[in-house]
Amino acid sequence: MKLLKLTGFIFFLFFLTESLTLPTQPRDVENFNSTQKFIEDNIEYITIIAFAQYVQEATFEEMEKLVKDMVEYKDRCMADKTLPECSKLPNNVLQEKICAMEGLPQKHNFSHCCSKVDAQRRHCFFYNKKSDVGFLPPFPTLDPEEKCQAYESNRESLLNHFLYEVARRNPFVFAPTLLTVAAHFEEVAKSCCEEQNKVDCFQTRAIPVTQYLKAFSSYQKHVCGALLKFGTKVVHFIYIAILSQKFPKIEFKELISLVEDVSSNYDGCCEGDVVQCIRDTSKVMNHICSKQDSISSKIKECCEKKILERGQCIINSNKDDRPKDLSLREGKFTDSENVCQERDADPDTFFAKFTFEYSRRHPDLSIPELLRIVQIYKDLLRNCCNTENPPGCYRYAEDKFNETTEKSLKMVQQECKHFQNLGKDGLKYHYLIRLTKIAPQLSTEELVSLGEKMVTAFTTCCTLSEEFACVDNLADLVFGELCGVNENRTINPAVDHCCKTNFAFRRPCFESLKADKTYVPPPFSQDLFTFHADMCQSQNEELQRKTDRFLVNLVKLKHELTDEELQSLFTNFANVVDKCCKAESPEVCFNEESPKIGN
């Protein structure tokens, strides 16, 4: 496999010419020609991502067989595009070949999907994905010297293994994101293998790549969860708010056209259709850059970059300056005598315009807060338009908006104060206890991960000038991850209610939850309170993970205890670890002290 081309990967969107609309414009034809070369070079990467995400349990050797089959299929179609098999959609072809692999559907428990066809089979493969990857072995690691030897002796194998391991552990991450991660990983490997201090180089340069993957994974799962649980309309309003804040000078008509492109992008990406996802992602970026004069003054340099870099640049670009002639408030939604009539004439367009006008005037608000205000406005008009004097009723809408914003702002301020008082570790233990109490049915690893992400939101945001929007946006992503992508995911009645009832008010709903009363703790096991000398040999990060897992399992076991009682038991545990790791014989100390922790 040749080097993944940063300038070419997005052109994969035209894979299999007979199954897609042929381009007619000169620029499109040029892109189409580039696509054919990219297919020849990189079909393996696409197959690895799709297969590893659909069948996470599959071995690397099984994946290699499918890659070989897809390459042969591609070669046949490149030689003769009129073959009947070459008219099929790429995702259908891939799933057919996965199902045709001898014994594989039975071995990995997806034979029920193979009995279906077309859309039903695609949905079945999607719902077969597992976000909790605790069933997989730990991510394989090599020390830097071994990694560099592997890269120099067989870089193709190293990159293939890397992409396979990352994709199967991130089954809902979009293909363009994973291809970007793979490209960055190779850049890191190539650079660090030339350094004398390889360890420091890998540790330092790998951090941004990992953060990039985590951030996009969290956001993509969040929006896909919204799409599958609440439908396309919610995704529309999410992006009306996002794009109105980012591009405040855009015209409403242009905004809606762009939002429609973005929303359709999520259909293919969320379903895991690699080809459709890449095609639609390219369409969105081309749309923005072809209209940049009327959309934003901040993306000119981005649009001059290579294809892959262009997308990243636009996403990371600053919000455009607010137009100088834009008033601080738009009176037509609160002062007009005809608000109810305008709403009734076309409700979707009316509320889309309200979201657009309010969002571009309030770049300081979070996306969840903007959606809450839209919901409050809808509820207010539903009430006011049934009164004898509607204008006299909705005239005070701004007071309602300010009221909910103040409430949300105070909640964030309290949380940041909590962070300052408790510190990073103290806040993490607080959220591990809280999250485990409201959703004890989740796996230990999921709860530890959610706790870490919640703390990241506060450590990242609580010192920033845009503290409110930052915390509210990131905390909302954590609850989105808790709710999951699949619409049929259930945790417990209270959590399910918060996840499925109202997208805009999901976070306030979670904040009001108490410990789950339907939960039945597992039988008592002394194993939880049994520790050995290997605790003292753990590196800082590994010891922290063991500590976090102990706390979550402690809450699951002693679910009825108060937060203060749980904190006391956890302090006992920390004291025992500290004491025994300083003892002359740690193992003897742990044998004597461990049984006392749970008492």
Tens digit of each residue's pLDDT (9 = 90 or more) over 447-497: 999 999 999 999 999 988 888 999 999 999 999 999 988 777 899 999 999
CATH 1.10.246.10 assigned to 520-598 = yes
The distance of Cα 367 from the centroid of its chain, to the nearest Å, equals 16
Tens digit of each residue's pLDDT (9 = 90 or more) over 111-140: 999 999 988 999 899 989 988 888 898 888
The distance of Cα 9 from the centroid of its chain, to the nearest Å, equals 21
Give the model's pLDDT for residue 36.
44
Decide if 302 contacts 317 (C-beta within 8 A).
yes
Separation of alpha carbons 599 and 596, rounded Å: 5
Separation of alpha carbons 378 and 374, rounded Å: 6
Provide the H-helix boundaries in 193-306.
Answer: 198-230, 232-246, 252-271, 274-290, 292-295, 300-303
Q: Is 75 annotated as a binding residue?
A: no
267 backbone dihedrals φ, ψ, rounded to 5°:
-60, -55
Query: Is the per-residue pLDDT at 8 higher than 80?
Result: no
Rounded alpha-carbon distances, angstroms, from residue 169 to 42, 479, 550, 569? 21, 20, 23, 33
Q: Report residue 158 as tokens.
A: 């190293």
Give the model's pLDDT for residue 308.
62
Give the model's pLDDT for residue 307.
63
- Per the prediction, the chain carries an average pLDDT of 86
Decide if 53 contacts 166 (C-beta within 8 A).
no
84-95: burial string, b at 16+ Cβ within 10 Å, e else = eebeebbbbbbb
Query: Is the per-residue pLDDT at 243 higher than 90?
Result: yes
Highest mean pLDDT: which of 162-176, 267-281, 566-580?
162-176
The distance of Cα 523 from the centroid of its chain, to the nearest Å, equals 35
Please, what is the Cα angle at 377 between 373 and 383, to 5 degrees?
145
Least trusted range by pLDDT, from 401-405, 420-424, 484-488, 585-589: 484-488
With bands split at pLDDT 50, 70 and 90, how would you rate the model's confidence at 516? very high
The architecture (CATH level 2) of 38-197 comes to Orthogonal Bundle (1.10)
Rounded alpha-carbon distances, angstroms, from residue 364 to 372, 409, 468? 15, 11, 8
Query: Is the per-residue pLDDT at 27 higher than 70?
Result: no
Query: Which residue, chain included where needed, has tokens 């670009």?
Result: 317
Give the model's pLDDT for residue 113.
95
What is the residue type of 378?
Answer: K
With bands split at pLDDT 50, 70 and 90, how would you rate the model's confidence at 39? very low
Decide if 128 contacts 110 (C-beta within 8 A).
yes
Separation of alpha carbons 555 and 436, rounded Å: 7
Decide if 496 contacts 238 (C-beta within 8 A).
no
Q: What is the mean pLDDT of residues 545-558?
A: 91
Domain segments of the chain: what residues? 38-197, 520-598
Rounded alpha-carbon distances, angstroms, from residue 531 to 537, 574, 580? 12, 12, 10
- % of the chain beyond a pLDDT of 70: 92
Q: Report residue 518 as tokens.
A: 């339907």
Give the model's pLDDT for residue 452.
93
Instruction: Compute how many other C-beta atoms are within 10 angstroms of the C-beta atom of residue 260.
Output: 14
Tens digit of each residue's pLDDT (9 = 90 or more) over 176-229: 899 889 989 999 999 999 998 988 999 899 899 998 999 899 999 999 999 989
Q: Report residue 181 as tokens.
A: 């991660």
Fold match between domain 38-197 and domain 520-598 = yes
The distance of Cα 144 from the centroid of its chain, to the nearest Å, equals 29
Separation of alpha carbons 533 and 516, rounded Å: 35
Least trusted range by pLDDT, from 318-322, 344-348, 517-521, 551-555: 318-322
Rounded alpha-carbon distances, angstroms, from residue 199 to 188, 203, 410? 12, 6, 44
